[in-house]
Amino acid sequence: MKDYKGYFIDIDGTMYKGSEIIEGAIEFIEYLNANNKDYLFVTNNSSKTPAEVAEKLNNMGFNTSSEHVITSAMATAGYISEESPGASVYMVGGSGLKSSLSDAGLVIKEDQNVDYVVMGLDVNISYEKLSVACLAVRNGAKFISTNKDVSIPNERGFLPGNGSLTSVVSVSTGQTPIFIGKPETIIMEQAVEKIGLSKEECVMIGDLYDTDILAGINSGIDTLHVQTGVTSLEEINLKEILPTYSVKNLFEVIK
């Protein structure tokens, strides 16, 4: 495997599954830290702040910081603020999305008269929130969604993801949103900018072909599939476009 300077790393299914640390994950981060390799955890989770993401990882035994995290909420805020600085936003989502939008200088409003509607995972979703979002989109607000994940893994099983919530507004209004998170290129372009390296110097690591691996493929970045999560090696081998590499676990990378 090529010796890369930068590593984009998925979290769930790559670093851990629920409360279970995946074999080789902690050792891989230790290897990156010890060898001064640049890396970013790239997550579609918009409900957590970078500090909260890093805190969970550290509590599980990883040694990292919020500077090594980019979320779909951060990428969404960056996209909107670059396109329309100071724009008004009606958001559906958690504290991570709210803080990212605010930190980017965007104005969060609680009514339908806004420039943008942003959909993120909201565990306290309500009919009223969806109603205001629909009304705002019908009023001409630009429709943005942090990611299209239709389900998310949980100790209870697979629960509705942000893509499922987004679909309610999309079906009701007839409008398709701009998606920001993996496998879209928007979050990856921002990750490349944040890490400060060329695409050729980086690799995208993840377990799920339809988000992690396609994010790299769509963005022209080499990919490393880990056989520790959702997509099996057998399923990978059936894909039209294969990842650059596939490994049993991250121990194989640091041998």
Tell whether the torsion through CA atoms of 235, 237, 241 and 244 is positive or negative: positive
Residue range 117-126, pLDDT digits in tens: 999 999 999 9
The reply to whether 156 and 92 lie within a common domain is yes
For the chain, give the mean pLDDT. 95
Same domain, 174 and 105: yes
Domain termination site, one of 179, 201, 228: 179
**What average pLDDT does the segment 32-61 reach?**
96
Determine, yes or no, domain membership for 159: yes
Percent of the chain with pLDDT over 70: 99
pLDDT band at 17 (very low <50, low <70, confident <90, very high): confident
pLDDT at 158: 78
pLDDT at 168: 97
In a domain, 76, yes or no: no
Hey, how many other C-beta atoms are within 10 angstroms of the C-beta on 217?
Answer: 19
Under the banding of pLDDT at 50, 70 and 90, the label for residue 151 is confident
Q: Are residues 171 and 95 in the same domain?
A: yes
Structural domain contains residue 58 = no
Whole-number pLDDT of residue 229: 84
Supply the range of the domain harboring residue 245: 6-44+182-254
37-59 mean pLDDT: 96
- 243 lies in some domain: yes
pLDDT at 154: 66
Maximum Cα–Cα distance across the chain:
56
pLDDT score, position 152: 77
Kindly list the catalytic residues: 10, 12
Q: Kindly tell me if the per-residue pLDDT of 240 is higher than 80.
A: yes
Span 104-148, pLDDT tens digits: 999 999 999 999 999 999 999 999 999 999 999 999 999 999 999
**Total number of domains constituting the chain:** 2
| Alpha carbons 69 and 67: distance in angstroms, whole number | 6
Q: What is the CATH number of the domain that holds 26?
A: 3.40.50.1000
Say if CB 8 and CB 216 are below 8 A apart. Answer: yes
Going across the sheet that includes 38-43, the strands are 69-71, 38-43, 6-9, 202-206, 222-226, 245-247
Mark which of 138, 158, 179 sits at the end of a domain: 179
Tell whether 224 is covered by a domain.
yes
What proportion of the chain, given as a percentage, has pLDDT over 90? Answer: 90
Say if residue 131 is in the same domain as residue 93: yes
Residue 146 within any structural domain of the chain: yes
Is 19 a member of any domain?
Answer: yes
Is residue 29 domain-shared with residue 101, that is, in the same domain? no
pLDDT at 34: 96
Amino acid in the structure at residue 231: T
Residue 255 pLDDT: 75
Q: Establish if 161 belongs to a structural domain.
A: yes
User: What is the C-alpha separation between 225 and 78, in angstroms, rounded?
Assistant: 28
Residue 159: pLDDT above 90? Answer: no
Quickly count: other Cβ atoms within 10 Å of residue 152's Cβ: 18
| Model pLDDT, residue 113 | 97
Statement to judge: residues 221 and 244 lie in one domain: yes
- 159 and 199: one domain? no
Split at pLDDT 50, 70, 90, the class of 85 is very high
Token pair of 37, please? 């390799």
Based on the domain organization, do 166 and 191 belong to the same domain?
Answer: no
Mean pLDDT of 173-199: 97
Mean pLDDT of 142-155: 87
Q: How far apart are CA 78 and CA 209, in angstroms?
A: 25
Strands (E), 163-219: 178-179, 202-206
The residue among 150, 179, 208 that closes a domain is 179
Q: Say if residue 93 is in the same domain as residue 140.
A: yes
pTM: 0.93
Same domain, 186 and 169: no
pLDDT at 75: 97
